[in-house]
Amino acid sequence: MKRIAVLVSGGGTNLQALIDAQNRGEIVSGKIEVVISNREGAYALERAKAAGIEAFAVAEKSADVLCEKISAELKLRKIDLIVLAGFLAILTPEFVAAYENRIINIHPALLPKYGGRGFYGLHVHRAVLAAGEKVSGATVHFVTAGVDRGEILAQKEVAVKAGDTPESLQQRIMEEAEWILLPRVTEELCKKIG
């Protein structure tokens, strides 16, 4: 059974999808051991605690200090896989190198489109709508030192509908793509990790 850490910054809807998948028996090769936020008071921490999962914040502005402290917590718990679920801090190259091919992220667009610095949350959906795209979706990828540049592990398309707002598109992509892909890839990787 692989040991999973989930890193979060906000409400934790993708974390909830992982918890629900674990409870339904869809994630059986790994177990969420800890949830760490870079923001005090992130609602995701409440979701984790409600599910009986250890959860706390490491609120540091410096990326170096943040990554050092998170790394120490992960080593303490012998974490095998790190899942970024709405984690908005940029990880240092040293941190990423230490966990090569063991950190995944969910991105709310079809990478390589609408990825990189500044493309997160509603910013992505606003850009998709402004460009007149007919299709968007979600991508699960390995995390590398280049933001949203790691190997793509899974993608799922979601139609952009007439009259969509950034908020309605975000909700549909979460429901039809993110909440399906992230648990599936998490289970697949837990099976593969030696």
Q: Which residues are catalytic?
A: 107
CB contact at 8 A, 8 and 86: yes
> CA separation (Å) from 41 to 55, 120, 164?
11, 20, 31
Burial class for 31, CB neighbours closer than 10 Å (0-12, 13-18, 19+) = middle
Distance (Å, whole) CA 146 – CA 129: 25
Amino acid at 122: L
